[in-house]
Amino acid sequence: MVLKVVIKCPHPEVAFDGNWEAAGPEDVLRHCVDQAITLGVPIHLEVKGHGAWNVTRSGKATPDARFLKSPN
């Protein structure tokens, strides 16, 4: 599966914008969590059609509030 991915990160080796070959968005998220822990940097991940997540330096991933559906 090819996913359209945007990874925003202050570390230039992690930042990415393009197509990513993965089994699903969980694989990309897992990669970002690993990189955040290893490098100690926060990461913002967007996967088109699947959502967005903020990953802390400790590896905690939370959905980006801008992409959560309204309860109404």
Are 62 and 20 spatial neighbours (Cβ–Cβ below 8 Å)? no
The one-letter amino acid code at 71 reads P
> 33-60 burial by CB neighbour count: b if 16+ within 10 A, else e?
bebbeeeebebebbbeebebbbbeeeee
pTM: 0.86
pLDDT at 19: 97
pLDDT at 68: 54
DSSP for 28-52 reads: HHHHHHHHHHHHT--EEEEETTTEE
pLDDT at 64: 85
Going residue by residue through the chain, which has 72 residues, state the pLDDT in tens, using 9 for 90 and above: 999 999 999 999 999 999 999 999 999 999 999 999 999 999 999 999 999 999 999 999 999 866 555 444
